[in-house]
């Protein structure tokens, strides 16, 4: 089964992201707006319980963190993606590290850039136009994140949340 780990931010931030995703993100209907903590990975279902125990342990020994958005950015020319850039943050990077080391190590192609995607697989003209406008905008959003979600992917490509893990709390 294919799994992924992400943070779903507040309704306010999800609504802002969706106002762009609706037009610019072909995965709009497959998953709500999110901050990926661990990219999609394959795992046998019989290993799921072990992983969940690890995730509970990681959550209980991690701190809630501040999710701060200061601007929009793009991964172009690597991919034609526009995203809300999440300001770097020690607690977030510590959590990301714990979710991607030891038994949870997976091969990743790029260094971790925390972000919330608002457009992807855009054609170049559209990306230039939209990003040209957004890079002039400032966005000031700050919220406390106190949980992350383990999801699995359905056959149609949509993601279903299997379990949420509250940070900094023994469960």
Q: ∠ CA(157), CA(94), CA(17), 5° rounding?
A: 40
Size of interface with its own copies, in residues (CB under 8 A) = 25
Q: Which helix (H) or strand (E) holds 44?
A: none
Site for its own copies in 112-171 (CB under 8 A): 147, 149, 152, 154-156, 158-164, 166, 171
| Residue number with CB closer to its own copies (79 or 144) | 144
DSSP class of 129: H
Site for its own copies in 29-48 (CB under 8 A): 29-30, 32
Residues ≥6 apart with Cβ < 8 Å to 81: 74, 75, 117, 119, 120, 121, 122
Site for its own copies in 37-96 (CB under 8 A): none
The interface region with its own copies, picked from 13-21, 59-67, 87-95, 135-143 by CB under 8 A, is 13-21
- Please report how many Cα atoms fall inside a 13 Å half-sphere around the Cα of residue 135, on the Cβ side: 10
| Shortest separation between residue 18's beta carbon and its own copies, angstroms | 5
The interface region with its own copies, picked from 8-16, 64-72, 93-101, 111-119 by CB under 8 A, is 8-16
Q: How many CB atoms lie within 10 A of CB 62?
A: 21
- 133 — phi, psi (to 5°)? -80, -45
Q: Which residues bind its own copies (CB under 8 A)?
A: 1, 8, 11, 14-15, 18, 22, 29-30, 32, 147, 149, 152, 154-156, 158-164, 166, 171
């Amino acid at each position: 089964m294919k799994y992924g780990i992400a943070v779903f931010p507040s309704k306010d931030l999800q609504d802002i992201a969706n106002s762009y995703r609706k037009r610019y993100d072909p995965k709009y209907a497959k998953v709500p707006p999110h901050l990926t903590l661990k990219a999609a990975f394959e795992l046998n279902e019989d290993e799921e319980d072990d992983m969940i125990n690890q995730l509970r342990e990681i959550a209980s020994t991690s701190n809630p963190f501040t999710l701060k958005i200061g601007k929009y950015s793009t991964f172009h020319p690597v991919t034609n993606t526009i995203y809300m850039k999440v300001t770097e943050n020690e607690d977030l990077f510590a959590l990301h590290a714990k979710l991607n080391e030891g038994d949870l190590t997976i091969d990743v192609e790029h260094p971790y850039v925390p972000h919330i995607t608002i457009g992807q697989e855009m054609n170049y003209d559209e990306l230039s136009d939209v990003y040209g406008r957004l890079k002039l905008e400032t966005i000031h959003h700050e919220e406390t994140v106190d949980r992350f979600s383990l999801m699995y992917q359905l056959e149609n490509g949509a993601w279903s949340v299997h379990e949420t893990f509250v940070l900094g709390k023994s469960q």
